[in-house]
Chains A and B, each alone.
Chain A
């Protein structure tokens, strides 16, 4: 149980570059009054970024090509349905994991 010096250096470097974008907005906006337009723009960030992260999981970048990840796309269908119908984060995650486990167990999209 030890820590390799290079790993430690990478972890500390990554800590700094991860913490900066998290902390800076709180420092910048501590006194600064945000203009209305900027606040309106920021109000779109939640929907945009969450959509982007979901779409990212369905794309495979390979050899200058972008392919659709059909396994993920299939797992999204019952997950999305659960999210809409149950309104429960917990149920959505549970259905998502179980669906993905089932798809992989049955090797439906095995390469």
Chain B
């Protein structure tokens, strides 16, 4: 709780007020390489799965979820039933509930319509950037969040379509390592979170990281990996609350 309201004593800078749209755009820039690479890969895989560029554009604009789009493509290519695909995507993306629940208290003074606009465009990465700022004691403004979200959104759509348009020329998109942009981005955001943690709490957080590795490994034996992500997060966040000083 403290990290949302009180500045950690070890930090010398004044609390950040993130208010402007342009600042949100700027704070999104470091993530763009990741979006471009993953979007490009998603577009190429879309074409390889038999989708047209227009279908890829619709998918990236309406669903707007990296990992889920890869899974949609492979399920469509495999000829899965629509209901199975939609149910799977629900499980894959249910974690966004937790991301948005974490961010929502920062925006509770906004109108409902504004908040729906913010929530609809939250991704793992924009959440990562926003929660890093929260961990540093910043106050998030609506315009800032929109700048962050919209920059990511437009970059994603353009990258997916670009990948779709040139995709059929490239035989093996994975050879370029683009797909690893996703875990790489998560690693950078995780390290940023740990860096913002007060020294006295770092050991506790690292213990949770270890718990998470064990939980993921064990649960992956019994449930699909996306469900393991969701369940492990619920379990380990609870362990976190119970074991904190």
**Chain A residues within CB distance 8 Å of chain B:** 1-4, 6-15, 17-19, 21-31, 34, 36-37, 39-59, 61, 64-66, 72, 75-76, 79-80, 83-84, 87-90, 92-105
Contact = CB atoms under 8 A, between A and B. Distances in A.
Interface residue SS majority, chain A = helix
Interface of B is mostly: helix
B232 interface: yes
A15 B63 contact: yes
A54 to B, nearest CB: 5
Contacts of B93: 17-18, 21-22
Nearest to A59: B220
| The 9 residue pairs across chains A and B that have the minimum distance between CB atoms | A96-B184, A100-B177, A101-B177, A21-B97, A44-B240, A92-B188, A100-B180, A13-B86, A17-B90
Contact of A61 (B62, B120, B220): B220
Interface in B170-225: 174-195, 205, 208-209, 212-213, 216-217, 220-221, 224-225
A41 B58 contact: no
Contacts, number: 295
B208 A55 contact: no
Number of contact residues on B: which range applies?
35 or more
A7 B177 contact: no
B124 A49 contact: yes
A34 B185 CA distance: 30
Contacts of A7: 51, 55, 76
Contact of A44 (B96, B99, B132, B241): B241
A22 B121 CA distance: 8
Interface in B49-84: 51-55, 58-59, 62-65, 68, 72, 76, 82
A22 B213 contact: no
Contacts of B98: 42, 45, 49
B35 to A, nearest CB: 10
A30 B112 contact: yes
Given A54-B190, A89-B30, A41 B241 contact: yes
A105 to B, nearest CB: 7
Contact of B183 (A4, A24, A39, A57): A57
